[in-house]
């Protein structure tokens, strides 16, 4: 997270006159969570973050001058041990903290967090927005539909074409905010959403072809670089190589991993990450030097090699 984003968040927060700060993931499940918080509370200050580095946003919130009573609601973000200390600090500074999630949690960490914050609900049967829906808006028909759309995408059911359009239309925080606002008012499809969708379809196919061009197969692990469209890139890699593990790296060392065997989260946990059994993410914590090295020698970089080796070790499928 860069200094500019830090300043933006701190400035936004200092102007914010509501009570709910929502820290969530970046996908449609997260946007649906945000729509539900907006529907329930109206004025919500939202921070969308990758699952790998949301702790840095928690650090930022802990630094912020707090003028009113604020509630921090985390959603669709799994528990990582690096978050504990800063969450405890937020509590000691008087924040009310609620956390709703559906990822795989370390049992010890779950208990530790539960003892520190005001409310914690982790339910792997539901997607995050369904947890928010049942907690905050149970019985509200529009909220129910928002949660159903989130589930359709997050659990890869894909029965509802609107979930494909909406998740594709999401490209940056501005589009996330806009879509969340529309959903919160019960607008599930309109001209603006269609236009956002068409724009992203073009960008997406270009980015995916680039990622496929840059890919290699090492053993049964397919590796490539892409700054987005992780799931689509992984699916295309599996089609192309019949691989059993797919690793998609970003230039900053953040990575996603997909596996046929239910081991993705175990691999990610070795690299300060986590997630689901078949899809997870972590961070190789690239230094500036690593970033340059990665541009020069690519997948031969020591930290990348370590990840590829770890992934192959876990791959018994």
Question: Residue 14 Cβ, how far from Mn ion at the closest point, in Å?
Answer: 30
Nearest alpha carbon to residue 305 among 230, 243, 227, 219? 219
Residue closest to Mn ion when measured from CB atoms: 29
3-state secondary structure of 232: helix
Q: Which is nearer to Mn ion, 29 or 246 (CB)?
A: 29
Q: Which is nearer to Mn ion, 67 or 158 (CB)?
A: 158
Question: Residue 268 Cβ, how far from Mn ion at the closest point, in Å?
Answer: 15
Q: Which is nearer to Mn ion, 59 or 232 (CB)?
A: 232
Question: Residue 275 Cβ, how far from Mn ion at the closest point, in Å?
Answer: 10
Q: What is the CA radius of gyration of the chain?
A: 19
Residue 292 CA: distances (Å) to CA of 2, 212, 214, 224: 18, 22, 17, 17
Q: What is the rounded distance in angstroms from the CA atom of residue 149 to the CA atom of residue 128?
A: 12
Is 270 in contact with 259 (CB distance < 8 Å)?
no
Question: Residue 102 Cβ, how far from Mn ion at the closest point, in Å?
Answer: 6
Question: Residue 127 Cβ, how far from Mn ion at the closest point, in Å?
Answer: 5
Residues at the site binding Mn ion, with contacts judged by CB under 5 A: 29, 76, 128, 154
Question: Residue 156 Cβ, how far from Mn ion at the closest point, in Å?
Answer: 11
Q: Which is nearer to Mn ion, 221 or 264 (CB)?
A: 264
The contacts of residue 67 (CB under 8 Å, 6+ apart) are: 14
Give pairs for 275-278: CB < 8 Å, separation 24+.
275/51, 275/78, 275/103, 275/104, 276/103, 276/104, 277/104
Q: Which is nearer to Mn ion, 27 or 315 (CB)?
A: 27
Quote the crossing angle between the two packed helices 230-241 and 191-213, to the nearest 10°.
Answer: 40
Q: Which is nearer to Mn ion, 85 or 123 (CB)?
A: 123
């Amino acid at each position: 997270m860069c200094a500019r984003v830090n300043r933006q968040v701190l400035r936004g927060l200092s102007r914010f006159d509501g009570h709910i700060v929502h820290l969530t993931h970046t996908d449609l499940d997260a946007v649906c969570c945000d729509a539900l918080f907006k529907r329930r509370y109206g004025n919500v200050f939202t921070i969308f973050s990758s699952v790998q580095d949301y702790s840095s946003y928690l650090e930022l919130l802990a630094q912020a001058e707090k003028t009113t009573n604020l509630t921090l609601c985390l959603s669709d973000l799994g528990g990582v041990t690096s978050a504990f200390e800063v969450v405890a600090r937020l509590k000691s500074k008087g924040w009310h903290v609620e956390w709703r999630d559906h990822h795989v949690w370390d049992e010890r960490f779950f208990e530790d967090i539960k003892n520190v914050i005001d409310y914690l609900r982790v339910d792997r049967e539901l997607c995050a927005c369904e947890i928010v829906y049942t907690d905050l808006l149970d019985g509200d028909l529009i909220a129910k539909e928002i949660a159903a759309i989130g589930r359709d995408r997050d659990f890869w059911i894909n029965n509802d074409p609107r979930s494909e359009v909406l998740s594709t239309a999401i490209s940056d925080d501005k589009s996330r905010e806009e879509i969340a606002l529309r959903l919160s008012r019960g607008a599930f499809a309109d001209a603006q959403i269609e236009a956002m969708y068409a724009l992203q379809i073009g960008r997406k196919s270009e980015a995916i072809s680039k990622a496929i061009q840059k890919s290699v197969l090492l053993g049964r692990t397919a590796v490539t670089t892409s700054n987005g469209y992780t799931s689509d890139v992984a699916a295309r890699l599996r089609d192309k190589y019949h691989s059993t593990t797919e690793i998609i790296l970003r230039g900053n060392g953040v990575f996603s991993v997909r596996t046929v065997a239910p081991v993705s989260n175990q691999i990610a946990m070795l690299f300060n990450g986590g997630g689901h059994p078949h899809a997870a993410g972590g961070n190789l914590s690239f230094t500036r030097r690593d970033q340059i090295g990665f541009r020069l020698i690519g997948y031969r970089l020591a930290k990348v090699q370590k990840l590829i080796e770890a992934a192959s070790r876990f791959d018994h499928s």
